[in-house]
Each structure stands twice: as C-alpha cells, then as structure tokens.
Amino acid sequence: MHFASVTSQGQVSIPAKIRKKLKLDKRKRVIITEENGKILMEPIKDILELAGSLKAPKNIKAYQGREAFENYLAHRANKGISKKALKQLGFQETSPHIFTPPKTKSAQSK
C-alpha cells in the first residue's frame, strides 16, 4: 500500500515503485475514471508503440493515426458528460452523439 497527497492544485504524485512497475514516464498518458467512489487510473498505450502490428489499407502519417486514436479515447471518455459541458471544453459535435476534442497545435501545424 502506498500513500500520496493531493496538492492545492489537485495534483497527485504516483509513487515511484508503481510508476516503474507500470512503465510510466513523463510522456505516458493515463485514463482516469471514477467508479463507486474510487479513482481508477489506467495507462494508455501510445498508438505509435503498436506500429507495424496491424495492416492498413493505405498509408497514413503517424500524427494522423495518433489523432484518430485520441478521438477514439475522447469519445470513450466523454460518455455521460452533457453536450453543453463538452462544447464548453472545446469539443465539436461531428455527428450525432460523436464529439471530437479540440485540435492540438501539433496536429494543426502538420
């Protein structure tokens, strides 16, 4: 069992033993959910780590694959959030009940 504190800015440090075990570093991302009053944190594999594991019908650029994967994760994460809240966060409704996250600077510049 490990203990951590929540800072005034809402940040929590993940203990080093857990970060090493889950291979989390400063570039890794996680999905955070709440279930029955508990906070769950799940590591996300970067789509680029899966390079070559699937055959694609056409070649796409790495940033396009990452953007599509991020859209999928955003769609998965925004279930249960009101349309109004999503729009206030900058998400765009691309079709009924499908919201895509705001464009990142790296995706816009490519």
Show me where the domains of the chain are located. Answer: 15-44, 46-110
Put simply, whether the predicted model's pTM sits higher than 0.85 gets the answer: no
Q: What's the pLDDT score for residue 48?
A: 65
Query: Could you give the CA distance from residue 82 to residue 40 in angstroms, rounded to a whole number?
Result: 21
> Looking at 1-110, which runs of residues are DSSP E strands?
29-35, 38-44, 92-95, 98-100
CB atoms within 10 A of CB 20: 10
Query: Could you give the CA distance from residue 86 to residue 82 in angstroms, rounded to a whole number?
Result: 6
Is residue 2 scored above 70 in pLDDT?
A: yes
What's the pLDDT tens digit per position in 44-72? 877 666 666 666 666 777 777 777 777 77
